[in-house]
Amino acid sequence: MRLPQTGGCLCGAVRYSITQEPIRVYTCHCTDCQRATASAFSIGVAVPGVAFQPTGKELRPAPGGVTAGGRPKTRWVCPDCGICLCGGVKIGTEPPGYTRIVRGGTLDDTSWLMPTTHFWTRNKQPWVILPQGAEIYETQADRS
Ligand SMILES: [Zn+2]
Ligand SMILES: [Zn+2]
């Protein structure tokens, strides 16, 4: 993959760059992600917090369900089209060492995305076949 990677929402009001190599690319098959993406699973691109740089309109916080540990999650969405670009703390308030999860499908170039980890596979659709050698977790692994 080349850097920076760019992406944005459906209407183009919010654009972003990713300036550092992702830490991990994964899918999550949990029922919240199925509902939030209106699809079968979400693609998460974990990047260092400072590496996600949005431009354009300011992202709006929207409820994102709760974690397995009961903490509320926030989705950051375009104020115009409502597409979710990422989760996590407010942009610019990331503590040192913070990892932000960007929605993989919002990248301009998704050709390099190769999820190597798959979470919540106990909720996955039966027709989704996971690749050999993938790191597979029935639920959440060690994240809470
Ligand atoms: Zn938009
Ligand atoms: Zn999920």
**Least reliable range by pLDDT among 20-24, 105-109, 140-144:** 140-144
Residue 144 lies in a domain: no
Q: Which ligand is nearest to the CA of 15?
A: 1
> What CATH number is given to the structural domain containing 43?
3.90.1590.10
pLDDT of 103 strictly over 70: yes
Residue 141 lies in a domain: no
The answer, yes or no, to whether the previous bond of 4 is cis (omega within 30 of 0) is yes
- Rounded-to-integer distance, Cα 119 and Cα 71, Å: 18
- Write out the residue range of the structural domain in which residue 80 sits: 5-136
Q: Which ligand is nearest to the CA of 101?
A: 2
25 close to 1: Cβ distance less than 8 angstroms: no
Distance 136 CA to ligand 1 centre (A): 33
pLDDT band at 142 (very low <50, low <70, confident <90, very high): low
Distance 42 CA to ligand 2 centre (A): 7
Residue 66 lies in a domain: yes
Distance 12 CA to ligand 1 centre (A): 5
Q: What is the count of structural domains for the chain? A: 1
Residue 142 lies in a domain: no
6 close to 107: Cβ distance less than 8 angstroms: yes
Q: Which ligand is nearest to the CA of 80?
A: 1
